[in-house]
Structure 1
Amino acid sequence: MTHKHPLLSGNHTGILLPLFSMRSKKDWGIGDIGSLKLWLDFLKSANLDILEILPINEMPPGVNCPYTSMSAFAIDPVYIAIEDIKELDDEIKKEISAPEFRKKIKELRQAKGLPYDDIKKLKFPILWKIYESFRNRHLSKNTNLAKDYYAYIAQNKYWLDDYSLFRKIKDDYQCMSWTDWPHGLKYRETIMIEAFKKNHAMEIEFFKYLQWIIQIQWSKAKEKAEKLNIKLFGDLPFMVNQDSADVWSRQNEFDISASIGAPPDAFSKTGQKWGIPAYRWHEVEKNNFEWWRAKVKKAEDFYHIYRLDHMVGFFRTWIVPHDENHKAHFDIINELEQRSRGKRFLEAVTTASTCLPAAEDLGLIPLYVAEVLKEVNVPGYKVMRWQKTKDQIKYIEPEHYEKISLATTSTHDNEPLKEWWATIDLKEKKLFWHMITGHNSPPPIFKNAHIEIVKKLLRAGSAIVILPMQDILGTDERVNTPNTMGKHNWSYRFPIDIEDVDKNEKISEKMHTLKCLIKEERL
């Protein structure tokens, strides 16, 4: 993308709030596509024009991390707004309206954390009944709606066929990894694959149907966003899970004998091993990054902006062999070759859609990464608390950030401002507060510093400013704590239903303040 994307002109301001966090009165315990539509009105009322969410790809049972998915293309059916499906017949409406069923929904909505699997156990049997009704009322009669469905299948054949087959085999083998499937299924032998398709055609089609419903619902949400002049900002993970439809169907492009990770640094003396397979880059590049270009093109159906996770990995990837006799290493040692591959990748994917890419370039990043991003007009991140002069003596004022950049107070992997303010030492806090105010007065308690910090970020020279919802509200709930496992991660929920925001004095006051600040500093 050697040209400058239109979104990099002017100022845009948004929030970071995962879809699962978007509480609404009709959700079944997790934010869904119906919730998303309501939140768009909320953004518009606050002078916000970007909504950033985390990955929404389908996660396997027992997994709550959105960066661990079974498909790079399929969206998790847990986000379907069941009551918004037009094909609900009277019998299904009666079932989900019954007191006992509503009680189950209420329990999920009141649950501590986010019970993904329990929500799916409630939703999937209903979705199957809706699918059966669709087959009887439309597919059997080849109605116009059936024709729309078949058109969707044809347009998405390049990923949907493998995904739906993979999902059904996974179900039949109790979620066993594909690496442990019978030889014929594991290595996709034609006779065994075709026999399985024939014997399970209806169930395979069910998974296609769910993706079609998601596409319909999301298209309406995206259309509403565009009418409100709001941009949806998605997230494309660097890699998919080893146990995914993509790795199973493209085994020549992935190396499952090794994991990618991060080299030793101040946070990890031994480095990190992420448990996801490495790319065989020589295979990936044979077709000009076709799989990645397809991902980016598909993202255009859902987003206007997408985040390229772990940007440095496209330049050089830290490889950790499963065989401990082999040492961890970068896949490319020569810096010129690293730079070259990263640029080839960016040139390939940035022309694959009309979306604006944003590069997650945080951490220990070689200087050439920023240079290449500048050459191709892709914005990188400016996390205010990490932006210092080269000598590390002063914080850089946001007003001096490059126009082609994305400025933010924190990310989903970091502690919110409130927690950060409580944990940094006094010397660092004084330095930061001097950058905020321009004078050497003692830094105040967070309650008195909060709005001044937000105001300073809104003055950023960056084309895009993103505020995590927790940093708007001044709360300390985290979305994720890296290097930890448990239900405390990926379970943040907005404290009240979106429909009740105006009735909550504390939250509505925070949002009104933000609205006024955006008008003063960004519009």
Structure 2
Amino acid sequence: MKIQFYLRFFTQYGQSLFVSGNCEALGNNDPAAALPMQYLTDEFWTVSIDLGKDFENDLQYNYILKNDNGGDVVEWGNDRVVEVMKLGVDELTLIDTWNHAGEFENAFYTQPFLNVLLTKHKETKARSFKGVTHVFKVKAPLLKEDEVLFISGSNDTLTKWGTTEPVLMHMEDNWWTTRLNLSSESFPVAYKYGVFNTKTKSFVAFESGNNRILYDSYGRKKITVLHDGFALLPNNTWKGTGVAIPVFSLRTQKSLGVGEFTDIKALVDWSKKVNMKLIQILPINDTTATHSWQDSYPYAAISAFALHPIYLNIEAVAGNANHPVVKSLKKKQKELNGLIDIDYEAVMKVKWAAVKELYAEQKKAMHEDALFFEFFELNRHWLVPYAAFSYLRDKYKTPDFSQWKSHSVYDEHAVQEFVDPTKKHYDEIALYYFIQYHLHLQLQSATAYAHANGIVVKGDIPIGIYRNSCDAWVEPELYNMSMQAGAPPDDFAVKGQNWGFPTYNWQRMAQDDFKWWRQRFEQMSSYFDAFRIDHILGFFRIWSIPMHAVEGILGYFVPATPVHISEFGPRGLWFDYQRLCRPFVNDDVLREFMNGDTEVLKPYLNHIGNGQFELKEEFNTQRKVEAHFAKLEANDHNDWIKHGLYDCISNVILFEVEGSQSQQFHFRISMSSTSSFRYLDADTKRKLDDLYVNYFYRRQDDFWRKEAMAKLPFLKRSTNMLVCGEDLGMVPDCVPDVMNQLGMLSLEIQRMPKDPSKQFFHPSTAPYLSVVTPSTHDMSTIRGWWEEDRTQTQKFYTHEIGQLGEAPYFCEPGIVKIIISQHLYSPAMWSIFQIQELLGMSAELRRENPNDERINVPANPKHYWRYRMHISLEDLLQEEKFNEELKGLIVASGRG
């Protein structure tokens, strides 16, 4: 069979197009072996192949755009499928429209919309290909239940633009399709798609835009198939509302001191009652490293795959409310549920004791359970190493595998022997299989319940992995263990953030086509419909902090094009290594850092002349200082000295690139705010600042775009979950365009405008492919923020919500309601609210102190994550007045 491909695409100079597919002529789905196409006109590219007699499958194919700079763009989707064996012809013409990933209609063909949120139109049996000359295929995701597409056009077969009895189309593999015989018609043919209501048997509307034109005419033993992209209908009208809350923060009468996976069902009931369509949670992976409250930090998982045992519902594992283990916990359950916040350590202690008892009772049945074996085999690649890691962590009393006396270096064969069922410690290993299996069942049951009630669940993927994690133990080569990931300074953390995670070795990850990420997404898709990529900026460049640093302020972006020493002279700058690359400390600096005391830090310094000092060898890095003060009494005075030394160490202008032999440098972030910079002469400051701006805001952007496009398209294609990016912070200019090109939803927050010229972002200006929210778990709530800065509050009160007079000191329920309404009426696809924000609309339901509603304080690396709802979901369900008011707001805004 001869196949002629025609692709509608307007290319620019230097671009070329290729077609890839599942046959030898198209490279057998290997993009590197894709078939080059030829330029035909400004509108079309074309190529032909002979499929051969031996091909017996459906033809599946897609197109690839290659740019002259080497960047490849694969069109979105994998649904161009032609049943070539059923056509019964010698010649096939395929006329296609490029499917740009950034077309927002593509979002409606992701998991949450296909499986839960949108009306499913019944697929009907298509007519055979006998006598068919043309097949028309087009997509229209937002048709209502009684609506179908029709095709109408300029000839008799297409009813001469008739709309009373048009040619109705049928649903076939997400395409509206019709098969027609145009052998008696003349060409070219003008046509359009339209919407027809089958219940009222009435015309609704034609698509917008110019008429479509078909030039390809009838031929004997030939069929033409047109993939016409999306019908030009109002496809940005769907808008949804969601609630965001960590699972640990849920409160029900059946949980045990902490939110559990089973509690999600009660949240579903409430969400459905108020017309919400999405539940968003924080990461739920196991963070058990120290068996202390410090493990409450949900972004430091010891496994990117294992679920956290804290979310296990003991009664569901026991299978009976009257089970002795369950009954024995009643008193403790009442005690822990009576606490305002989570007692992480007490909850974990109780649950571990209970689950060990249940495992001893059920282990025989587990090993005879076919569903368990199915779970085990599908997850063996991470489950076995995780169980071994957890056992060894406890045996050696540390997650730092480099300190273990055995298995400090992962060896798959040795670990398989170590977990053999004949070993005496096998039950201690299999306990983790048991826990993970039941967590899997409980989470899957919760999300299935959400789906059954028309609600989707959105997960969260942390940007990093914990340094002493199972992932780092098993595949350390995937990570740069010699660096720490974090974030540069911002209004919420003026010294930056140091998360302590190793950074990703993207070059190594690309060698196996990002296998680790693909496995991660595959597992997540078992539970979630959408996910939030934490700190998506890390896929462009990551804030990397040397191991000798404690504070994030000593980091720099990697990758980044450094400043070369040759750039200083032409700018009229004298390069003084000691002055620019070493901490600048004199008496004035000491007076500034230590509130006028110039002597308190002198024991840690050496005088080097000219009134300047350097840090002694034993105190010349922040880690050395940290280690020194860790041995001393913990008090405010010592802490003051320690942070004074930290400030001295970070009082630099340039960081030398390791191994560059003093030839290449990175600028310290916020250089102009340093004392070192302020003590330079005016001319030097001006010229350095010009180079600083060039370094941060000009030279990197195209470089970072290429970095992101080498990773994100591949990762997005590996899953059909809806992808949302947390694109906050110091956002490079290239980020919005890359996210638009890939159809990833951005995050828009009123207090964090992406336009630096504005103090606030207004939800009414949000792009459609975005999530708008008043706050995240890393911020104070609306009420908490309202009391932080009266000047800001007044500006917001006057200009953003249009109120007259002086802003009230406290954020009254009516103000919260106005802000919630602004977000509901936003054009954004999703408006998502922390549950605390919603309760803030009610004087009766909200907490008295808004600071008690905060989940995380990013500036505090030792923050205890223990926030819990102060009202149970059962009680919230009974708050009819509040629920009706919230539902009314959502419905009136056109969301649901």
Could you tell me which residue of structure 1 aligns to residue 196 of structure 2? none
**291, 297, 307: which one pairs with 1:65?**
297
- The alpha-carbon deviation at position 494 of structure 1 amounts to 1.2
Distance in 2 separating the partners of 1:15 and 1:105: 27
Per the alignment, in what secondary structure is the counterpart of residue 446 of structure 1?
coil
**736, 752, 761: which one pairs with 1:370?**
736
Cα contact 1:262–1:273 (8 A) shared by 2: yes
Residues 190 and 290 of structure 1, relative CA distance in 2, 3 Å threshold: closer
Could you tell me which residue of structure 1 aligns to residue 249 of structure 2? 21
Q: Which has the higher contact order (CA 8 A, sep 6+)?
A: 1
Could you tell me which residue of structure 2 aligns to residue 223 of structure 1? 448
- TM-score normalised by the chain length of structure 2: 0.54
Per the alignment, in what secondary structure is the counterpart of residue 85 of structure 1?
helix
Letter in 2 for 1:28: L
Distance in 2 separating the partners of 1:483 and 1:340: 31
Could you tell me which residue of structure 1 aligns to residue 833 of structure 2? 467
- The alpha-carbon deviation at position 343 of structure 1 amounts to 2.1
- The alpha-carbon deviation at position 243 of structure 1 amounts to 1.2
Matches within 5 A, 1:469-484: 469-474=835-840, 475=846, 476=850, 477-484=853-860
Residues 427 and 222 of structure 1, relative CA distance in 2, 3 Å threshold: closer
Matches within 5 A, 1:45-194: 45-60=273-288, 61-62=291-292, 63-85=295-317, 87=319, 93-98=323-328, 101-139=329-367, 142=368, 146-182=369-405, 184-189=406-411, 192-194=414-416
- Give the length in aligned residue pairs: 506
Segment of structure 1 superposing worse, 373-382 or 450-459:
450-459
Residues 324 and 386 of structure 1, relative CA distance in 2, 3 Å threshold: closer
Residues 210 and 268 of structure 1, relative CA distance in 2, 3 Å threshold: closer
Residues 159 and 185 of structure 1, relative CA distance in 2, 3 Å threshold: same
- TM-score normalised by the chain length of structure 1: 0.91
Could you tell me which residue of structure 2 aligns to residue 294 of structure 1? 519
- The alpha-carbon deviation at position 429 of structure 1 amounts to 2.8
Letter in 1 for 2:315: E
- The alpha-carbon deviation at position 29 of structure 1 amounts to 0.3
- 1:308 maps to 2:533: yes
- The alpha-carbon deviation at position 472 of structure 1 amounts to 0.7
Cα contact 1:78–1:119 (8 A) shared by 2: yes
Cα contact 1:261–1:272 (8 A) shared by 2: yes
Cα contact 2:325–2:357 (8 A) shared by 1: no
- The alpha-carbon deviation at position 86 of structure 1 amounts to 5.8
Distance in 2 separating the partners of 1:190 and 1:227: 41
Write out per-residue CA displacement over residues 242-290 of structure 1, whole angstroms, 9 at most, x where no aligned residue.
1111111011111222211123455556533221112222112212222
Matches within 5 A, 1:361-400: 361-387=727-753, 391-392=757-758, 395-400=760-765
Distance in 2 separating the partners of 1:43 and 1:74: 27
Per the alignment, in what secondary structure is the counterpart of residue 252 of structure 1?
helix
Cα contact 2:704–2:734 (8 A) shared by 1: no
Per the alignment, in what secondary structure is the counterpart of residue 821 of structure 2?
helix
Could you tell me which residue of structure 2 aligns to residue 451 of structure 1? 817
Distance in 1 separating the partners of 2:492 and 2:834: 23
- The alpha-carbon deviation at position 441 of structure 1 amounts to 5.0
- The alpha-carbon deviation at position 380 of structure 1 amounts to 0.8
**485, 500, 504: which one pairs with 2:875?**
500
Distance in 2 separating the partners of 1:371 and 1:232: 27
Distance in 1 separating the partners of 2:492 and 2:270: 38
- The alpha-carbon deviation at position 348 of structure 1 amounts to 1.7
Write out per-residue CA displacement over residues 211-261 of structure 1, whole angstroms, 9 at most, x where no aligned residue.
111111111111111111101111110011111111110111112222111
Residues 305 and 315 of structure 1, relative CA distance in 2, 3 Å threshold: same
Cα contact 1:55–1:237 (8 A) shared by 2: yes
Cα contact 2:775–2:782 (8 A) shared by 1: yes
Residues 21 and 284 of structure 1, relative CA distance in 2, 3 Å threshold: same
- 1:350 maps to 2:716: yes
Distance in 1 separating the partners of 2:492 and 2:762: 26
Distance in 2 separating the partners of 1:295 and 1:17: 22
- 1:330 maps to 2:706: no
Distance in 1 separating the partners of 2:503 and 2:862: 25
**267, 271, 284: which one pairs with 1:43?**
271
Distance in 2 separating the partners of 1:267 and 1:446: 21
- The alpha-carbon deviation at position 189 of structure 1 amounts to 3.9
Letter in 2 for 1:491: R
Cα contact 1:443–1:449 (8 A) shared by 2: no
More strand by share: 2
Cα contact 2:366–2:434 (8 A) shared by 1: no
Distance in 1 separating the partners of 2:355 and 2:326: 11
Residues 433 and 518 of structure 1, relative CA distance in 2, 3 Å threshold: farther
Task: Give aligned-pair identity as a percent.
Answer: 26
Cα contact 1:294–1:352 (8 A) shared by 2: no
Segment of structure 1 superposing worse, 1-10 or 146-155:
1-10
Per the alignment, in what secondary structure is the counterpart of residue 466 of structure 1?
strand
- The alpha-carbon deviation at position 503 of structure 1 amounts to 4.6
Distance in 2 separating the partners of 1:214 and 1:149: 12
- 1:510 maps to 2:882: yes
Letter in 1 for 2:707: R
- The alpha-carbon deviation at position 432 of structure 1 amounts to 4.9
Distance in 1 separating the partners of 2:462 and 2:482: 20
Per the alignment, in what secondary structure is the counterpart of residue 126 of structure 1?
helix
Could you tell me which residue of structure 2 aligns to residue 278 of structure 1? 503
Distance in 2 separating the partners of 1:9 and 1:210: 43
Residues 285 and 502 of structure 1, relative CA distance in 2, 3 Å threshold: closer
Distance in 2 separating the partners of 1:336 and 1:480: 34
Distance in 2 separating the partners of 1:427 and 1:95: 54
Residues 17 and 272 of structure 1, relative CA distance in 2, 3 Å threshold: closer
Residues 284 and 441 of structure 1, relative CA distance in 2, 3 Å threshold: same
Distance in 2 separating the partners of 1:452 and 1:191: 61
Cα contact 2:778–2:857 (8 A) shared by 1: yes
Letter in 2 for 1:49: K
Could you tell me which residue of structure 2 aligns to residue 520 of structure 1? 892
- The alpha-carbon deviation at position 39 of structure 1 amounts to 1.2
Cα contact 1:87–1:134 (8 A) shared by 2: no
Letter in 1 for 2:341: G
